[in-house]
Chain A
Amino acid sequence: MATMHAVKDAVSAEAETAFAVRVDGLDVTFGEGETAVTALRDVNVDIPEGALVTMLGPSGCGKSTLLRAIADLVPASRGEIKVHERTPEEARKARDFAFVFQDATLLPWRSAIDNVRLPLEVGNPGPAHADPMELLELVGLKGREKALPGELSGGMRQRVAIARALVTRPRILLMDEPFGALDEIARDNLNEELLRIWTETGTTILFVTHSIPEAVFLGQKVLLLAAHPGRVKEYMTVDLPYPRQLPVRDTVEFIKITAHLRKMLEEC
């Protein structure tokens, strides 16, 4: 695993152009005239291929909007977004990325396994896809594949949503506060498992959270947004080696980083 990251680092150092997402001078404005709301102003961010970037910021600063603009759910008012050198629309049609929402958004009449299969039944799923059964196993839901969402806990539902997102083997995973509604223990478990999935699949992950410890625990890099208008305040690298386990949160280094981010957040 350590060697894998060494390779990763070497690659990104060698070929500077390997970016999964490039955001260049992005403005997003909702509405027109006097009531217009500028959600994002002049945002410039590069997400390296294979990176795990977490996004932090006060509520209403445009975290969801940035993620949704990359996912072609919200149009850019100005500037440009490139997802693997393509427009978000092209990337969406090519199933380049998958989205995980805050509430799992499972179809309640479909069993867990059928929810995981949904992306293969609509649009143009493409030939390369994972085995839904293996994915449920990967997220720790072996044996629950026939269960309806109503019979699963919040954490289990979110696991199904992650398996569903992975089924088309996307190169990028966009996650908007996926564990925000979970209790702390479920959230800790899923954080560790997300790191495991990231190392196993090599997927680029852009992860929105409002929890500073979560952002630092997961992220290779933390993107800090400020509000009114939404803009990049800081884009820092987290100097903690992987694989990370939960106790890392009690180390001095970890606490230093969270303290720094907390101070920056207060200034936002």
Chain B
Amino acid sequence: MADIAQSQASANERKSGSAWLAKSGDRLLPLLAAVGMLVLWQLIIWIFSIRPFIMPGPIAVLGAFIEDGPKLWLNFWLTFLEAALGFIFGNLIAILMAVAFVHNRTSERAFFPIAVFINTIPIIAVAPILVLIFGNGYSPKIIIAALICFFPTLVNMVRGLKAVNPATLDLMRVLSASDAEIFWKVRLQSSLPFLFAALKIAATTCVVGAIVAEWIGSNYGLGALILLASYNYHAPLLYASVFSASLLAVFLFAMVSFAERRMIKWKTPAVH
């Protein structure tokens, strides 16, 4: 009896031990893989003696990060501002429009085709038009970042607001709940998983929007820096700018994920 208890205990110990290893491995493994790839990259540069203006090694890129640090940092924040404002406006308008669509079928029938049409215009094609209209300032960048966020959020939010369990609607009817009460107590909450699925997409695409807008007409921001560096064959700076842009997207994505974990504590049904 005691034997069994003992072996049970040591089995548990082993299990929790290997669980700990697996858990830290989850974080360690990708880190090791990343370091390995950087080393491989640097080795290829050395072995084939690739010249830095064709492809710089990680050490050269790190040098650019240090040398042009203040410049990268400043332009990082400018692009961040454009992307974040575009993210906020684009998603806010999409959410409000989705609410209107769900409350009023006529508005959905009237405006949804227009939304689909706007979505079919390639963002790169609209950018010059907006730059012509609004000039070289912040506004065309914010608008393009907003445009690129808008459609996926609109579609997902409409789906989310409608994806209420019919039995729950029966329950609310038995309780004689008003449409407003159903909206605030049921629809809004049950749309959150759908909304956050869209916001995670938007967190990365709004950065793309801001950078594309900066390419068309701008002398600041990571997009402008990317163009400038490539014109000057300053490859290390080019790579550093590209990495900064992707860090920006990762940062926004992490913020959305954090908000999601704070706001949705319940087990969500699978959202596709």
Interfacial residues, chain A to chain B (CB-CB below 8 A): 68, 71-73, 92-93, 95, 97-99, 101-103, 105, 107-109, 118-119, 121-124, 148-150
* Chain A residues within 8 Å of B186, by CB: 107
Closest to B168 in A: A105
In the complex the two chains form, is B170's CB within 8 Å of A99's CB? yes
- Pick the interface stretch among B46-54, B82-90, B174-182, B239-247: B174-182
**Is B167 interfacial (CB 8 A cutoff)?**
yes
Q: Contacts A105-B168, A109-B265 known; A98 to B176 CB distance under 8 Å?
A: no
Which residues of chain A are near B267, meaning CB under 8 Å? 108, 148, 150
Which A residue sits closest to B264, measured CB to CB? Answer: A109
B165 at the binding interface (Cβ < 8 Å): yes
Flag if B174 contacts A108 (CB, 8 Å): no
Q: Is the CB of A109 within 8 A of B189?
A: yes
> Which residue of chain A has its CB nearest to the CB of B185?
A122
The minimal Cβ–Cβ distance linking B178 to chain A, given in whole angstroms, is: 7
The answer to whether B174 and A118 have CB atoms under 8 Å apart is: no
Closest to A150 in B: B267
Question: Is the pair A92, B185 in contact by a Cβ cutoff of 8 Å?
Answer: no
- The verdict on B117 contacting chain A, using a C-beta distance below 8 Å, is no
CB neighbours (8 Å) of A122 from chain B are 172, 175-178, 181, 185
> Do A92 and B266 form a contact, CB below 8 Å, given A105-B167, A122-B185?
no
The digit string for B34-64, where 1 denotes a CB below 8 A from any CB of A, is: 0000000000000000000000000000000
Closest Cβ of chain A: how far from B75's Cβ, in Å?
A: 41
Known: A118-B185, A121-B185. A107 touches B168 (CB 8 A): yes
**Complex contact B167–A123 (CB within 8 A):** no
The count of residues in chain B whose C-beta lies closer than 8 Å to any C-beta of chain A is 20
When distances are taken between beta carbons in the complex, the residues of chain B under 8 Å from A150 are 266-267
Q: List 29 A-B contacts (CB under 8 A).
A: A71-B174, A72-B174, A92-B173, A92-B176, A93-B176, A97-B174, A98-B174, A99-B170, A99-B174, A101-B170, A102-B167, A103-B167, A105-B170, A105-B171, A107-B168, A108-B266, A109-B189, A109-B264, A109-B265, A118-B175, A119-B175, A121-B185, A122-B178, A123-B175, A123-B176, A123-B178, A123-B181, A148-B265, A149-B266
With a cutoff of 8 Å between Cβ atoms, the chain B residues found around residue A107 in the complex are 168, 185-186, 189
Residues B136-176 near A (CB distance < 8 A): 165, 167-168, 170-176
Contact of B165 among A98, A99, A105, A149 (CB under 8 A): A105
B residues in contact with A123, CB < 8 Å = 175-178, 181
Q: Bound complex: CA of A124 vs CA of B177, how far in Å?
A: 8
What residues of chain B lie closer than 8 Å to A109, measured between beta carbons? 189, 264-266
| Residue from the set B165, B171, B185, B267 with the largest chain A CB neighbour count within 10 Å | B171
Nearest B residue to A71 by beta-carbon distance?
Answer: B174
Q: B170's closest neighbor in chain A, by CB?
A: A73
Residues of the A chain whose Cβ atoms lie less than 8 Å from the Cβ of B264: 109
CA distance A93 to B173 in the complex (A): 10
